[in-house]
Chain A
Amino acid sequence: MRHLLPLLVALPLLGAALLVATGRRLPRVAVEITGFTVCGGTAALALVLLLNSAPPLTEWVGAWPPAGRESVGILVVGDGPALGMATLASLLTLAALAYSWRYFDAPPHGHTGAYTALMLVFQGAMCGFALAGDLFNAFVFFELMSVVAYALTGYRIDEAKAVQGALTFGIVNSLGAYALLMGIALLYARTGELAMARIGHGLDAAGPGGPDALVLASFVLVLTGLLVKAAAVPFHFWLPDAHAVAPTPVCMLLSGVMVELGAYGVWRVYGTVFAGPGGIPAADLTRALVTLGALTAVTGAVMCWYQRHIKRLLAYSTVAHTGLFLVGLGVLTPEADDGVALYLLGHAGVKAALFACAGALLDRFGSVDEHSLHGRGRPLRATGVMCAVGALGLAGLPPFGTALGKAVAEEAVGGPLTVVYVAASAITAGAVLRVTARVFLGLGPRPRDAEYETSGSHEEPETTGLLSRVPDTMTTVPAVLLAAALAMGVVPGFGALVARSVGPAGSGGAHWTAHGVLLGVASTALAVALAGLAVTRPDWTAAPGWAAPLRRLQSGHVGDYVAWLLVGTTVLGALALPGVLGS
Chain B
Amino acid sequence: MNRLRLWLLAVGGAGLAALLVAACLDLPGFGGDRHPYGDRAVHASLLRHTANTVASVNFDQRAYDTLGEMSILFAAVLGCVVLLRQARDEHRAPPEPAGVARPVRRYALLVLPVALVTGLYVIAHGQLSPGGGFQGGVVAATALHLLYLGADYGALERVRPLGVYETTDALATGAYLVLGLAPVLAGTAFLANTLLPYGTFNTLSSGGTVPLLNAAIGMEVASAAVVLLAHFLDQAVEIEEEHGS
A, B: real partners: yes
Asked if B65 contacts A136 (CB within 8 A), the reply is yes
Q: In the bound complex, what is the Cα–Cα distance between A226 and B2 (angstroms)?
A: 28
| Nearest Cβ on chain A to B97's Cβ, whole angstroms | 25
CB of B192 closer than 8 Å to a CB of A:
yes
CB of A158 closer than 8 Å to a CB of B:
yes
User: Which of B71-91 touch A at CB < 8 Å?
Assistant: 71-72, 74-76, 78-83, 85-89
Which of A16-24, A43-51, A385-393, A523-531 lines the interface with chain B?
A16-24
Asked if A73 contacts B62 (CB within 8 A), the reply is yes
Asked if B9 contacts A137 (CB within 8 A), the reply is no
Query: How many chain A residues touch B (Cβ–Cβ < 8 Å)?
Result: 84
Residues of B within 8 A of A20 (CB): 74, 78, 166-167, 169-170, 173
Q: In the bound complex, what is the Cα–Cα distance between A163 and B28 (angstroms)?
A: 44
Residues of B within 8 A of A569 (CB): 12, 15-16, 19
Residues of B within 8 A of A565 (CB): 12
| Nearest Cβ on chain B to A564's Cβ, whole angstroms | 6
| Nearest Cβ on chain B to A16's Cβ, whole angstroms | 7
CB of A566 closer than 8 Å to a CB of B:
yes
| Nearest Cβ on chain A to B127's Cβ, whole angstroms | 15
Asked if B170 contacts A217 (CB within 8 A), the reply is no
Q: How large is the interface on B (under 10, 10 to 19, 20 to 34, 35 or more residues)?
A: 35 or more
Which of A58-66, A262-270, A419-427, A441-449 lines the interface with chain B?
A58-66
Residues of A within 8 A of B76 (CB): 147, 151
Q: In the bound complex, what is the Cα–Cα distance between A13 and B81 (angstroms)?
A: 17
CB of B191 closer than 8 Å to a CB of A:
yes
CB of B5 closer than 8 Å to a CB of A:
yes
Residues of B within 8 A of A72 (CB): 37, 40-41, 44, 57, 61-62
CB of A453 closer than 8 Å to a CB of B:
no
Q: Mark A143-166, 1 if CB is under 8 A from B, else 0.
A: 110011011101101100000000
Q: Which of B20, B68, B183 contacts A144 (CB 8 A)?
A: B68
Q: In the bound complex, what is the Cα–Cα distance between A143 and B89 (angstroms)?
A: 32
Q: Mark A17-49, 1 if CB is under 8 A from B, else 0.
A: 111110010000000000000000000000000
Which of B106-114, B174-182, B199-207 lines the interface with chain A?
B174-182
Q: Which of A3, A4, A567 contacts B188 (CB 8 A)?
A: A3
Asked if A17 contacts B65 (CB within 8 A), the reply is no
| Nearest Cβ on chain A to B135's Cβ, whole angstroms | 19
CB of B26 closer than 8 Å to a CB of A:
yes
Q: Known interface pairs A13-B71, A110-B163. Does A570 touch B36 (Cβ–Cβ under 8 Å)?
A: no
Residues of B within 8 A of A5 (CB): 190
Q: In the bound complex, what is the Cα–Cα distance between A210 and B79 (angstroms)?
A: 45
| Nearest Cβ on chain B to A154's Cβ, whole angstroms | 5
CB of B189 closer than 8 Å to a CB of A:
yes
CB of B103 closer than 8 Å to a CB of A:
no
Asked if A566 contacts B9 (CB within 8 A), the reply is yes
CB of B236 closer than 8 Å to a CB of A:
no
Q: In the bound complex, what is the Cα–Cα distance between A557 and B6 (angstroms)?
A: 13
Residues of B within 8 A of A76 (CB): 64
Asked if A10 contacts B169 (CB within 8 A), the reply is no
Asked if B171 contacts A17 (CB within 8 A), the reply is yes
Residues of B within 8 A of A220 (CB): 19
Asked if A14 contacts B174 (CB within 8 A), the reply is yes
Residues of A within 8 A of B22 (CB): 213-214, 216-217
Asked if A158 contacts B75 (CB within 8 A), the reply is no
Q: Known interface pairs A62-B189, A70-B40, A157-B87. Does A141 touch B68 (Cβ–Cβ under 8 Å)?
A: yes
Q: In the bound complex, what is the Cα–Cα distance between A9 and B68 (angstroms)?
A: 9
Q: Mark B45-57, 1 if CB is under 8 A from A, else 0.
A: 0000000000001
| Nearest Cβ on chain A to B223's Cβ, whole angstroms | 11
Q: Which of A13, A118, A216 contacts B82 (CB 8 A)?
A: A118
CB of A363 closer than 8 Å to a CB of B:
no
Residues of B within 8 A of A125 (CB): 68, 71, 75
Asked if A566 contacts B72 (CB within 8 A), the reply is no
**Subset of 6 A-B contacts with CB under 8 Å:** A6-B190, A10-B67, A13-B177, A74-B62, A118-B78, A136-B65
Given A62-B61, A63-B192, A147-B76, 6 extra CB contacts under 8 A: A21-B174, A63-B183, A118-B82, A155-B83, A220-B19, A570-B14
Closest 6 CB pairs of A and B: A570-B15, A566-B12, A151-B79, A217-B23, A63-B192, A140-B68
